[in-house]
Amino acid sequence: MASRSPVRATTPQESGYQFPLTSGDQANLRSLKKRLVKQCPKDCVVAFHKFIKPLLYPSESVSISKWDDSMECFIVLYSLDEDGTFKQPKNMSPLFSVLRYFIRCAIFQEASIGKDNLLRYVGKRISIPISETLIAQSHVKPRKTSLHA
């Protein structure tokens, strides 16, 4: 249902409502839309991460209004039924399960980016390709289990 799409809510609607996105969030959304049109999967993953990370991570907002938090606004909009009433709590549980996994994926992606940056940094400092060094020095042996006995 396009009228309740969070992406459409980033521009003013008939109701006058607009998602509370920062200028950085809006730039990330424009970049994501552009890459989705080009249909380049690798670029889409990076653009999606840049867009979603600030929404899923704790905000540094000094505002005391919950209406300034885009995630809270999304949850409120999602919880509304067609007739304007709120969904039953049991019907909201799947959303929170999905958000939990989105947050985990965002953290994993950020850790992956950080690991790559760290490996590049360390590799430059010691003047050798660090990934080859780590592979060559790996002394990890598989554990013997009862299946291998």
Angle in degrees, 0-180, between the axes of helices 41-56 and 70-79, rounded to the nearest 10: 100
pLDDT mean across residues, the chain: 74
Of 86, 104, 121, at which residue does a domain stop? 86
pLDDT band at 4 (very low <50, low <70, confident <90, very high): very low
Q: Tell me: do 75 and 12 sit in the same domain.
A: yes
Is the pLDDT confidence value at 2 over 50? no
Q: What is the pLDDT of residue 11?
A: 59
Of 86, 115, 131, at which residue does a domain stop? 86
Q: Tell me: do 99 and 66 sit in the same domain.
A: no
pLDDT band at 146 (very low <50, low <70, confident <90, very high): low
What residue numbers bound the domain in which 21 lies?
1-86
Q: Tell me: do 4 and 32 sit in the same domain.
A: yes
CA distance 149 to 145: 7
Share of the chain above pLDDT 90, in %: 6
- The answer as to whether 44 is a domain residue is yes
CA distance 30 to 99: 22
Q: Are 72 and 66 in contact (CB under 8 A)?
A: yes
φ, ψ of residue 80 in degrees (nearest 5): -80, 135
pLDDT in tens, 55-89: 888 777 667 777 778 888 888 888 988 898 999 98
The mean pLDDT of 94-110, rounded to a whole number, is 88
